[in-house]
Chain A
Amino acid sequence: MDNEEKINEEEVKEELAEEVVDYGGTFHERDSHNVNDIVKEISSSFLDYSMSVITSRAIPDLRDGLKPVHRRILWSMYEEGNTPDKPHKKSATTVGYVMGHYHPHGDSSIYDAMVRLAQDFNQRYMLVDGHGNFGNIEGDGAAAYRYTEARLSKISLEMLRDINKDTVNMMPNFDETCNEPSVLPSRYPNILVNGSMGIAVGMATNIPPHNLGEVIDGCIAYIDNPKIDTMGLMQYIKGPDFPTGGIILGNSGIKKAYDTGRGSITIRSRAVIEENGNHNQIVITEVPYGVNTLELKNKVAELVHNKTIEGITDYHTDLKDGVKITITLKKDANAQVVLNNLYKHTNFQINYGIIFLVIDNGTPKTLCLKDIISKYIDHQKEVIIRRCKFDLDKAEKRVHILEGLKIALDHLDEVIKLIRNSKTDVEAKEGLINKFGYLLPKLKQFLK
């Protein structure tokens, strides 16, 4: 009896066990898993991340000087027909279009990139023509994208010119529903003209903007004489040309950067000392590139407070028609001493490290000026050859059709008769081929 009862109990238990989900015991053995050592895990993950950031996020392509997000913005605006000959469109439309079609990242990163393209103190030649509050050099941000409007600027059309003539490779977007250009034709050397700035992982780029005319002259000089050296190029490209102006002190830094791809230059504000009644004032009309004028003011206030600089009584910033900073001095202050102190202690004078780091053929490279120009010219050659081929193909197709039509006109009665007597299109086509030996494409067009 005892035994039997026991057995029954056990059976009941087993049944219960099947009903209740068993979370204990072998629970975790049900996972299938792979094992990976932490060193391999982090090195491969880190490599994926860092290489992606370097090659397709933070560093511009040599050929068009654009990072993918900028390229996508320009291409999207072009696709949308958001061109300079039409009225501005809401920025939200563009941001949405770029995000939905090409750039699967946050909206703010797209809008921020677009705003930068429209800021006159950031871009030497603005690629986006903005309307509304696009921020200022004081560091005030742009209005939200539901307020502002934008369209492509005229110079952007040069970036995009002939893009529909098969001049550049197109690649599928992230969900393979449409195509985007892998690079823009960039009919002017945007990499040098507008420069670029970006911090990737383990490396960063800082390319200053240049004058469009100078750079093009430099390119022409290179085409005329591919053996030209850095000094030769510097006859034409004298140095960076910042949208905010300023004075570059000395050109050894420029030469070194153009020679090796890396160098450091010192940029100083443009200032004059004016007399105003019985005291002097320093008037600054240009500040170094990338300097935020509000931070400048705070820094000066701090220095005055700490008594590092003495003799300043007032400080005003006027942003109307470019920057104008007026620093009023005490009666007995030596204006030149104050100005020198400002250069020394504040961003009225900065060091600007040039790094010509670009993506060339999918890999990051630090290149000298001549290499950049020569590789840019190679890109232009390709664009022009592909455009010519495209135009030639199109023209040849047209010639075909016209010749076919001409033959038909010459034998108009025969052709009409042949077609009328045919029962089907195919029969007519075969008849015409037999009779006139025409090529098929001509006939198709004609039979339509």
Chain B
Amino acid sequence: MSEHYNESDIQVLEGLEAVRKRPGMYIGTTDVKGLHHLVWEIVDNAIDEALAGYCKNIEIIINKDNSITVKDDGRGIPVGIHAKTGLSTVETVYTVLHAGGKFGGGGYKVSGGLHGVGASVVNALSKFVTVTVYKEGKIYEAKFVDGGKIDKHLTVVGECSKDRSGTTVTFKPDPDIFDTDIYDYDTLKVRTRELAFLNKGLSLTLRDDRDDEDTTGEKFMYEGGISEYVKFINKSKTPIHEDIIHLEGEEDGVIFEVAMQYNDGYNDNIYSFVNNINTHDGGTHEEGVRRALTRVINNYARKNNILKEKDESLTGDDVKEGLTMIISCKHPNPQFEGQTKGRLGNSEVRKLADSVFSQGFERFLMENPQEARLIIEKSISACRARNAAKRAREASRKSDLSIGSFFGKLTDCKSKDPSISEIFIVEGDSAGGSAKKGRDSMTQAILPLRGKILNVEKARLDKALGNEEIRTIITAFGTGIGNEFDLEKLRYNKIIIMTDADVDGSHIRVLLLTLFYRFFRPIVEAGHIYAAQPPLFKIQVGKTRKYVLDEKEKEDYLNSLSDGVRDKVVISRMKGLGEMDAEELNETTMDINKRVLRKITVDDCVAADAMFNKLMGEEVEPRRAFIEENAIYVQNLDI
């Protein structure tokens, strides 16, 4: 430690100490998600440079020791001494919370990071951080260790050419803080690609040096920006019009951009972003577009007599069927609302979005009457299906009122409090019986399914609603469906898919997840869906029985036994839930104190949508290609 160490430093460390104590407050979680979040904190800084127009290339490298290097060719972090802290600006940015150039004042116009915590939080949670700044012909370097302690003050370590500028940051997350320290290439790739789409012309390179140092990595750069994003999402689908509609507008420093294309599917893929941040819950920018879309289509359809006078107007749900749309908004001062900060609240954006979209889209329709007709016909057929579904729903509601069939085969729990109730969706009637006997009747409801449910990826809402099994699930959840859907009304906090540990069980799980993702997506996104993990092996030693979840646990248990005992164990592979009696089932899979659940999360809507489309959709070829490509990764093969 050098002699510059004085009391101001101590305060800084206290600030970062708070981050180490409560990492959740700053990065959400300390699991895999939080680990990857650190990367984006640094990359976001580089992207902000790009948004300001100074950075063209960003490189993200996973190093051999699972540390991450992010290189950009922006202006480089200022190197002068900061008046307030008495430290160099680099050290200030990396050690003081809420130190940043994004609070206004001319450094940046718009940015994803607003609170100036990104860099310092990463530093606080890292084993070591090295920052190298290339600026005005000199190379500066500062080093931090063990959660932000300054190891080496910013010094000039070399010279570079005058026109080279940029920042390179290498950090290694602290294994004491994170549950895991292994980076997943695919997770990084998905977001890197997304960022490349959202920032047209910006080149992002992702490289994994862990296995092979000589790789050049994957480069993502899209001149077409979000238009190419739409094309990417629609890759596995059949668009109904060829050209992607791309509209842009700017007002008072707010840049608004939208790209869209209709495909012949039944689902919509509308994603909106503000300053590269996905606004899951929409907000004013999305509202503006949706409102304009419905209005423009209805107006056009009426004017051109595609919708007759007596026909009812198309609703927002009709016009979004088969729509793939990316909305991107760059705002100097965005206000995020909602619990997860996933909704844009700036009301002036609504007006801008509406006017940009309605003018542009109207013009497109008038210039391309043929495409316009296709789009409107698609919406009209969606409208018809919606009405058919409504009739089916009403019919099912009527019949449901008769006593006994109200919940079909559902055995409900006693508790009416959704926050503690859970529902087990069980494969097969035979397992349903033991689940009913083994459950905690206070909080656990059981819904047995017979056989395989309908694949809703290939069926429309009205057909799906004709299916008995699906109707029962809808009634049991209590949320309603389609435009009546209300997450607040969900009757259970946990929806647990409990299928046999065989390949048909896997298939049923996929079918159920398809249903949930397509019809109850908010439930999935809110993290209410779980998969039960029935034991895979039963190990019997004399009279004691031990259930283990996987091969690894089995090996561990066997190794823990003494040599004499190990020879006498009988190991059997569990196949069906029906094999266990009620008590065993409760012990191993249902008891909240002993069970292990697998929580199903949605990290990336686009990837999820594409995957469902590929695996469960009408087209056979992509599915076949997927199987052939991934055949070597198969884990459980039933023989």
Contact = CB atoms under 8 A, between A and B. Distances in A.
B484 interface: no
B599 A23 contact: no
A49 B509 CA distance: 10
A49 B637 CA distance: 8
A51 B627 contact: yes
A436 interface: no
A124 to B, nearest CB: 28
A54 B627 contact: yes
B507 interface: yes
B596 A34 contact: yes
B499 to A, nearest CB: 9
A311 to B, nearest CB: 40
B453 interface: no
B611 interface: yes
Interface string B562-605: 00000000001101100000000000000011011111111110
A28 B573 CA distance: 30
Interface stretch (B68-76, B278-286, B628-636): B628-636
A175 interface: yes
Interface string A60-88: 00000000100000000000000000000
Given A42-B611, A51-B627, A202-B624, A37 B602 contact: yes
A28 B598 contact: no
A47 interface: yes
Contacts of A48: 503, 506, 634-638
Given A37-B602, A38-B517, A45 B509 contact: yes
A426 interface: no
A202 B627 contact: yes
Interface string A161-177: 00000000001001110
Contact of A41 (B32, B600, B635): B600
B593 to A, nearest CB: 6
A56 B637 contact: yes
A33 B596 contact: yes
A51 B631 contact: yes
Given A27-B420, A35-B31, A39-B607, A45 B575 contact: no
A51 B510 contact: no
A103 to B, nearest CB: 11
Contact of B599 (A34, A49, A51, A54): A34
Contact of A47 (B417, B602, B603, B630): B630
A175 B592 CA distance: 30
A39 B605 CA distance: 9
A38 B608 contact: yes
A30 B600 CA distance: 18
A408 B531 CA distance: 72
A34 B631 CA distance: 25
B524 interface: yes
Nearest to B621: A202
B233 to A, nearest CB: 14
Nearest to A24: B420
Among B513, B524, B604, B638, max chain A CB count under 10 A is at B638
A52 interface: yes
A31 B533 CA distance: 12
Given A24-B420, A47-B634, A202-B623, A33 B506 contact: no
B294 interface: no
Nearest to B620: A202
A64 to B, nearest CB: 16
A175 B571 CA distance: 10
Contacts of A56: 637-639
Interface string A10-51: 000000000001011001101111111111011111111111
B612 interface: yes
A54 B531 CA distance: 25
A28 B415 CA distance: 15
Contact of A43 (B507, B615, B631): B615
Contacts of A51: 627, 631, 634, 637
A31 B527 CA distance: 14
B504 interface: yes
B599 A33 contact: yes
A201 interface: yes
Nearest to A49: B507
Contacts of A269: none
Contacts of B633: 44, 47
A104 interface: yes
A48 to B, nearest CB: 5
A298 interface: no
A51 B635 CA distance: 10
Nearest to B639: A56
A26 to B, nearest CB: 11
Q: What's the dominant secondary structure at chain B's contact region?
A: mixed
A55 interface: yes
Contacts of B31: 35
A107 to B, nearest CB: 13
Contact of A37 (B417, B443, B601): B601
B142 to A, nearest CB: 35
A201 B617 CA distance: 12
B627 A31 contact: no
Nearest to B504: A49
A33 B530 contact: yes
A153 B280 CA distance: 64
B627 A49 contact: no
B441 interface: no
A36 B600 contact: yes
Contacts of B639: 56, 68, 171
Given A23-B442, A202-B620, A33 B637 contact: no
B109 interface: no
Contacts of A35: 31-33, 598-599, 601
A56 B506 CA distance: 15
A421 B602 CA distance: 85
Interface in B492-551: 493-494, 503-504, 506-507, 509-510, 513-514, 517, 524, 530-531
A363 interface: yes
Contacts of A24: 417, 419-420
Contacts of B493: 28
B270 to A, nearest CB: 18
A144 interface: no
A53 interface: yes
B32 A39 contact: no
B310 to A, nearest CB: 34
A203 interface: yes
B615 A46 contact: yes
B415 A45 contact: no
Contacts of A54: 627
Interface in A387-416: none
A57 to B, nearest CB: 8
Nearest to B516: A38
Contacts of B572: 175-176
A201 B623 contact: yes
B530 A30 contact: no
A28 B496 CA distance: 13
Nearest to B529: A38
A30 B593 contact: yes
Contact of A49 (B506, B611, B624): B506
B513 A38 contact: yes
26 contacts: A24-B417, A30-B593, A31-B595, A35-B33, A36-B598, A37-B600, A37-B603, A38-B513, A38-B524, A38-B608, A39-B604, A39-B607, A41-B513, A41-B531, A42-B510, A47-B627, A47-B631, A48-B506, A50-B627, A56-B638, A57-B638, A174-B573, A175-B572, A175-B573, A201-B623, A201-B627
Given A38-B601, A39-B607, A48-B503, 8 more contacts: A33-B599, A34-B599, A39-B603, A39-B608, A42-B611, A45-B507, A49-B510, A50-B627
Interface of A: 21, 23-24, 27-28, 30-39, 41-57, 68, 104, 171, 174-176, 201-203, 363
A-B pairs with the 9 shortest C-beta distances? A202-B624, A45-B506, A52-B503, A49-B507, A52-B638, A33-B597, A202-B623, A51-B634, A37-B603
